[in-house]
Structure formats: C-alpha cells, structure tokens
Amino acid sequence: MNNVETPNKKPRCQYISKIGARCQADPQTGKAYCFFHDPDQKSKQAAARRQGGEARSHQSEPEITLPPNLPAIPLQKASDVFELLSQTVNHFRRGQMDMRAAKAIAYLASLLLRALKANAQPSVAELLADTINQFRSGQIELRAAKTIGHLASLMLSALKQAILEEQAISAGETTRPAAAIRQAQAACAEAPRHDSIEATTPIVPTKPRKDHEPHPAVLGMTTVNPADHPETRHA
C-alpha cells in the first residue's frame, strides 16, 4: 500500500518512529520533516530542549516573597545573627516573607553561628554572611543560597576533621618518649639480678697473715688473770 499524499490532504512530517507511528506535526517550509525531526537541525533541537527544561523548572518553583529594600546586616558576631533572626520572625508573621525564604535564612544563620562558635577560618563566616545579605536583597535565588549553604556546611566539617587530625598527630608525638622509657624499664626488669650484683660489688682479695701475728679471733678475746679467780688455783 502506497502512502501517497492526496492533493486535498494536509502534508505531515515524514518521520516514522520505531514502532511505526507517523509524526503528525507540520513539516517545515520546503522540507519533508518538522523542526524536531529534521536531521539537519540536531544542534538547534538540543538548545531548544535545554531552554524548555529551564523554563519548566522556573515555572515549577514560584517566586519567593521578601520585603523590599532590606538593608544589609554586618553579621560579624552572635548578636548580629540574633538581630537577623528577630527581623525574619517579624517579617514572616506579618506576611512579608514566605516560609521558604524564612527557612533558608534560618538554615544559613545556623551555619553562620557554627562558624562563629568554632572560630573557623574567616572566609567561611564571610561567605555565609554575604550569602544571607544577597538572598535578602534578591541578588541570588533560593536554590543558589541553599547550595552555598550546603557547601559551607561541608567546609565546616572538613575544618573540624582537620583539627582532630592535628590533635591526634600531636598526641602521638608526646607519648613516644614515655613509651620508650617504659620499654627501657621493662628491659631492665627482665635482666638477671646476679649480673648487676657482680658488676657493682668488687671482690677484695684477703691479705695473707704472717706467722707471728695472732689470729683476729684471738685479738678479740679478753686476757684472763689467774689471780682474779682463786678458785681456779685450787682446782
């Protein structure tokens, strides 16, 4: 059966899918295919799909509500963060700020408090403070603010892990001398006792005794006088 277009029938795109379905779109002027099925328009087709996806993403995420002309806050200490949160509560209660914006500011403020409390590198605190002020003034979108906050949270975790690693290295270096002393003491305790006695106690040779000299034991005896004991004479 021939698919011949009749003069009274409107022409359609000549593209046929893998399952045999015919495209029902109008072909381009002077061509047999529509724009999306034209083999010569692949680069333009990809750009059109990207633009369509971006448009759908913007439509799916409605605009956030923020008070106009919000002033920048220094956000250099905890009291500044408290003032920020106080303003956010008041704006939300008055309906000047929606829930998504209030939650984003609260999330970024919690990370900023962590950075200030941990005395982290000033760059992390400055990054969070700038992000909060830019979001409040409408310079960056909600998704961008959340992404920066997530990255800042990972940076704080990395800094904390680096501090723990440095402490572990320092603790290992300080315990090495003590361990060496304990090892030397254990080696001395395992050594035989007689070796140390022989090494520290010298043997003094005995001086030879002459024949006319009395024995030391005799020198220690007391001489007995017979006159002092008359009973010995009668015996």
pTM of the entire predicted model: 0.51
Residue 92 phi, psi dihedral angles, 5° rounding: -70, -40
Last residue of a domain, one of 163, 184, 203: 163
Domain count, the chain: 2
In angstroms, the CA 173 to CA 218 distance is 68
Q: What is the DSSP string of 131-175?
A: HHHHHHTTSS-HHHHHHHHHHHHHHHHHHHHHHHHHHHHHHHHHH
Residue 18 domain-assigned? yes
Q: Are 110 and 149 in contact (CB under 8 A)?
A: no
Last residue of a domain, one of 122, 137, 163: 163
Q: What is the DSSP string of 108-136?
A: HHHHHHHHHHTT--HHHHHHHHHHHHHHH
Q: Are 85 and 108 in contact (CB under 8 A)?
A: no
The reply to whether 85 and 55 lie within a common domain is: no
- At 106 the pLDDT is 97
Last residue of a domain, one of 163, 198, 227: 163
- At 203 the pLDDT is 53
- At 110 the pLDDT is 96
- At 197 the pLDDT is 42
Residue 114 domain-assigned? yes
How many C-beta atoms lie closer than 10 Å to residue 41's C-beta? 17
Identify the three-state secondary structure at position 79.
helix
β-bridge mates for residue 16, sequence order: 22
Structural domain containing residue 99:
78-163
pLDDT in tens, the chain (235 residues): 455 554 557 788 888 877 777 887 888 888 888 887 888 777 676 776 666 655 555 555 678 899 998 999 999 999 999 999 999 999 999 999 999 999 999 999 999 999 998 876 788 999 999 999 999 999 999 999 999 999 999 999 998 898 889 888 888 766 555 566 666 666 655 555 544 444 455 555 555 555 555 655 555 555 555 555 555 454 4
